[in-house]
């Protein structure tokens, strides 16, 4: 019997232990490794080549969305199951855009995680909770062009990554190196974000990042 090899990526050890305890005893599954942030998850995925990555998205310095995109680019047969505490429409949209195969709330993990993995093994996607299902339905039935008509305050996934890094103390140069873009591009993103959100100071941006759970207080 072929084992499904699973990499668990979360910056909290208690979550990693909890996931492993939920999976232990399952005859087909084996946790082959752990990662504590996005870049770590990418490196270990390349080395271990897991069948599934269980991925938190609010990790730093590289978040789980960026890691998901990179892992799926270099390991297209690997499946990514996002495990998060967030259930807003914006977050679900970003998870979908990143190419993840499933979305489970941490609050529902004891109920949904096993079902999610079994569903993903069958080549299907799994999006849990009533709220997430509603948001997913709205996303899938969105009319062509509607994405462009979103409220002016909505940020793109890349802009949210820039906000996360800047508001956790990274310089423009550090953000550029971490995201593989130029310093000028980072500055452009920052100015665009400040203008779009109508912020006058960096402290406004930090408060926004905390409020939207882009970073933790």
Question: What SS3 class is residue 47?
Answer: helix
What are the helix and strand counts (H, E) for the chain? 10, 6
pLDDT of residue 39: 92
CA distance 216 to 186: 22
The answer to whether the CB of 10 falls within 8 A of the CB of 106 is: no
At 33 the pLDDT is 95
pLDDT in tens, 153-175: 578 888 889 999 998 888 889 99
What digits encode the pLDDT tens for the residues 171-184? 889 999 998 888 88
Phi and psi at residue 181, to the nearest 5°: -125, 175
* pLDDT at residue 87, rounded to an integer: 73
Task: Determine the pLDDT at residue 62.
Answer: 83
Show the DSSP H helices in 125-201 as ranges: 130-140, 157-166, 172-179, 183-196
Residue spans of the chain under pLDDT 50:
131, 145-152
pLDDT for position 147: 47
Residue 139: per-residue pLDDT: 54
Q: Which domains, and CATH codes, for the chain?
A: 4-140 (3.40.50.2300), 152-211 (1.10.10.10)
pLDDT, position 200: 83
Among 19, 82, 72, 16, smallest CA distance to 46 is for 72
How far is it, in rounded angstroms, from Cα 217 to Cα 115? 32
> Alpha-carbon distance 213 to 64, whole Å?
14
pLDDT at residue number 152: 45
- pLDDT at position 131, please? 46
């Amino acid at each position: 019997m072929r084992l499904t090899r699973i990499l668990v990526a979360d910056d909290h050890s208690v979550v990693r232990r909890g996931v492993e305890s939920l999976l232990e005893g399952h005859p087909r599954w084996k946790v082959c490794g752990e990662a504590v942030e996005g870049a770590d998850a990418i490196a270990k995925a390349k080395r271990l080549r897991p069948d599934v990555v269980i991925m938190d998205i609010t990790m730093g310095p590289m978040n789980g969305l960026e890691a998901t995109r990179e892992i799926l680019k270099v390991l297209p047969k690997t499946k990514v199951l996002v495990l998060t505490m967030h259930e807003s429409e914006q977050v679900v949209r970003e998870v979908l855009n990143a190419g993840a195969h499933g979305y489970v709330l941490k609050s529902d993990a004891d109920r949904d995680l096993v079902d999610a993995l079994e569903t993903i093994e069958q080549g299907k996607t799994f999006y849990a909770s009533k709220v997430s299902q509603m948001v997913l339905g709205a996303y899938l039935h969105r009319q062509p062009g509607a994405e462009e008509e979103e409220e002016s305050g909505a940020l793109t996934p890349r802009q949210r990554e820039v906000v996360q890094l800047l508001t956790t103390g990274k310089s423009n140069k550090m953000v550029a190196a971490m995201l593989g873009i130029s310093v000028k591009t980072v500055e452009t993103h920052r100015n665009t974000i400040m203008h779009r959100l109508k912020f006058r100071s960096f402290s406004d941006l930090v408060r926004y990042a905390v409020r939207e759970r882009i970073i933790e207080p």
